[in-house]
Amino acid sequence: MHNFKRVAVSTAALAMLGATSMASAIGVDRLESTLYPNYVTDDMLMNADVDSQNWLHYGKDYQMTRYSQLSQINRDNVKSLTPAWNLSFGILEGQDSQAVAVNGTLYVTTSFNRVMAVNGATGDIIWKYERELPGDVFPKLCCDVVNRGVAVYKNKVYLATLDAHVVALDNQTGDVVWDKKIGDYTYAETFTIMPLAVNGKIVFGTAGAEYGVRGWLAAIDADTGAPAWKTYTIPGPGEPGNDTWGGDSWKYGGGSTWITGSYDKETNQLFWPVGNPGPDFDRHVRPGDNLFSNSTLVVDADSGKIDRYFQYTPNDPYDYDGVNENVQIDLGGKKLFVHGDRNGHIYGIDRRNTVKTASGNEMVCLWATVMNDVNWIKEPISPENGNCRPVFNYPEMDVVYDRVTQNIAPSLDGGKEWHPLSVSLRTKMAYVPIYNFTMDLQAKKMEWKRGEWYLGAKVITFNAGAGLIKAFDVATGKLAWTKSQSWPATSGLLSTAGGLAFYGDPEGRFNAVNDETGEHLWSFNVGTGIHGNPTTYTMEGKQYVAIVYGAGGGGIWPL
């Protein structure tokens, strides 16, 4: 893969005469805002869904919609977008981050765990934090030296690091307030996640399933960094779900938690995605459903106690990492979340109602829709077929020791990769970035060794393919429109009240399309592939759209 100069760009609308209306930002206590500029309160975090000025969470709001009420940039004037400024990060490798915006100040991470505070109108750097990473951490990273962003709360900025620390930085200076060792990177517990600030805690999860790490989710006190709770995603002996693992396979069972979860404000519960089991491709050494890998776990935000779950791909032999985001929306009296999965399907899951299983309470699947080419199942996934439980296309598409299984669809990248979808509260559509590739696999028996790769594969080959952007009705799962492209969809989506959806691509184009039809309205080529996510904010009454770009982040595709 070629290395390019990695940069960030912000784009502002030109000549927005009279376009001054916007939703009000949530107020800040006068004393706190005087003493601590850019002070972020609990109320601001809780009401981020009605705050158009700022971008405070991974998905903008606790619901994870990536929808902005801003409409200064809209279908009528988007063709006039030109770069407002361009900032070089001065560092190579993949850039998977996004800009968090607080009162016009952007906080953004780069590869190798650098953090920058940037003036959102000019692109001038206010401060920079650079971390010295231990040299022996790099072999423990499955997918490049990336980071997905910082959490903001009170007068601090929170970074989860590759060497398994959480660092609190002063939001005005970048000085370290505290630095806490949380995990053990020598065991391959590494952090690439953007943490979530909620109820005075910082919540985050670990990567490492490709090394046989037993996954977990944890919370620490936002003021001090003191531990609050820790919940393993792979149950141990005596815990519900442990009997879905053969023998001691749970000890090396994966279930990473490296994408930020959403938060239900009414129930005080986190909806956290959980990734693939370990080893990735050898299901034969871990018989059973392998709970709670490839699942969404619902946990109490104050205690970490598991309440319910939904599993997408049980006993997964394809690395269909179910760690993608869960976007909450209320429609027609139903409270659901939308989840696009690497297994080639997008799901609508009831957040409240459950069915009883031997391992606990499983949430009810309302609908499931195929997003791309799929051949690993024998029959369609649907609520009528065992609550959307898949029926595998075995023996034809099984991953075994004595032969190469060819053209498995989709590949391990999806379907939908980790790049987040957006749900528009205006159109009630989900805008989804999709890979449409196949792969060849052959399993291999491997012995787990601490801190070493634990893939369980002899052959992993990716075949030629393409990509898609699709829009789905979130009430029914029905396809609304499709935009085909000859490359995979490697950027997250942003939807706005201006009738637009924004996204990047690996050819370097930052695009805007009509959110109702998919019609292409505007693009700007940044000069290198885009893996980061677009965000939007206002400063001095003007709307900006920001994109982090720079190819990398573990993406693999033949073109």
If one counts every other C-beta atom within 10 angstroms of the C-beta of residue 144, the result is: 20
Residue 92's pLDDT is 78
User: What is this structure's pTM?
Assistant: 0.94
Backbone angles phi, psi at 249, to 5 degrees: -65, -20
| Residue-level pLDDT at 36 | 78
What whole-number distance in Å separates Cα of residue 350 and Cα of residue 364? 5
Distance CA 349, CA 339 (A): 8
| 482 CB neighbour count, 10 Å cutoff | 12
151 forms beta bridges with 158
State the residue for tokens 């898949």. Answer: 390
With H, G, I as helix, E, B as strand and everything else as coil, classify residue 412: coil
Written as six digits, the tokens of 276 are 């693939």
pLDDT tens for the chain, residues 1 to 559: 333 333 344 444 322 112 222 232 333 344 455 567 899 999 999 999 999 999 999 999 999 999 999 999 999 999 999 999 999 999 878 899 999 999 999 999 999 999 999 999 999 999 999 999 999 999 999 998 999 999 999 999 999 999 999 999 999 999 999 999 999 999 999 999 999 999 999 999 999 999 999 999 999 999 999 999 999 999 999 999 999 999 999 999 999 999 999 999 999 999 999 999 999 999 999 999 999 999 999 999 999 999 999 999 999 999 999 999 999 999 989 999 999 999 999 999 999 999 999 999 999 999 999 999 999 999 999 999 999 999 999 999 999 999 999 999 999 998 999 999 999 999 999 999 999 999 999 999 999 999 999 999 999 999 999 999 999 999 999 999 999 999 999 999 999 999 999 999 999 999 999 999 999 999 999 999 999 999 999 999 999 999 999 986 555 444 3
Q: Alpha-carbon distance 257 to 269, whole Å? A: 16
Catalytic position from the list 319, 341, 413, 515: 319
Residue among 166, 316, 161, 290 at smallest CA distance from 234 = 290
Architecture field, domain 7-549:
8 Propeller (2.140)
**Contact by Cβ (8 Å): 132, 162:** no
DSSP-H helix ranges across 371-507: none
Among residues 502, 464, 311, the alpha carbon closest in space to that of 388 is found at: 311
319 labelled catalytic:
yes
Q: From CA 520, how far away is CA 210, in angstroms rounded?
A: 38
Q: Which of 311, 479, 428 is nearest to 381 (CA)?
A: 311
Diameter of the chain by CA atoms? 69
The set of residues, in sequence order, having a beta carbon less than 8 Å from that of 169 and lying 6+ positions away, is 115, 129, 150, 156, 157, 158, 159, 175, 176, 177
pLDDT on residue 33: 54
Q: Which residues of 485-508 are buried (b: 16+ CB within 10 A; e: fewer)?
A: bebbbbbbbbbbbbbbbbbbbbbb
**Cβ 152 vs Cβ 54: under 8 Å:** no
Give the domain ranges of the chain. Answer: 7-549
**Structure-token pair, residue 526:** 């940044």
DSSP state of 187: G
Take residue 372 and report the two structure tokens written for it. 């791309």
Q: Tell me the residue length of the chain.
A: 559
Q: Is 356 exposed, middle or buried (0-12, 13-18, 19+ CB in 10 A)?
A: exposed
What are the tens digits of pLDDT across the range 422-445?
999 999 999 999 999 999 999 999
Q: Phi/psi zone of residue 177: left (φ > 0), alpha (ψ -120 to 50 degrees), beta?
A: alpha
- What lies within 8 Å, CB to CB, of 499 at 6+ separation is 71, 74, 75, 426, 514, 515, 516
Q: Is the peptide bond before 395 cis (omega within 30 degrees of 0)?
A: yes
Task: Mark out the alpha helices in 148-233 (DSSP H runs).
Answer: none
Note if the bond before 4 is cis, omega within 30 degrees: no
Kind of pairing, strands 67-68 and 494-496?
parallel
CB 527 within 8 A of CB 66: no
CA distance linking residue 285 with residue 245, whole number of Å: 9
DSSP-assigned letter for residue 404: P
Amino acid at 68: S
Two structure tokens written together for 28: 């800040």
pLDDT in tens, 452-484: 999 999 999 999 999 999 999 999 999 999 999
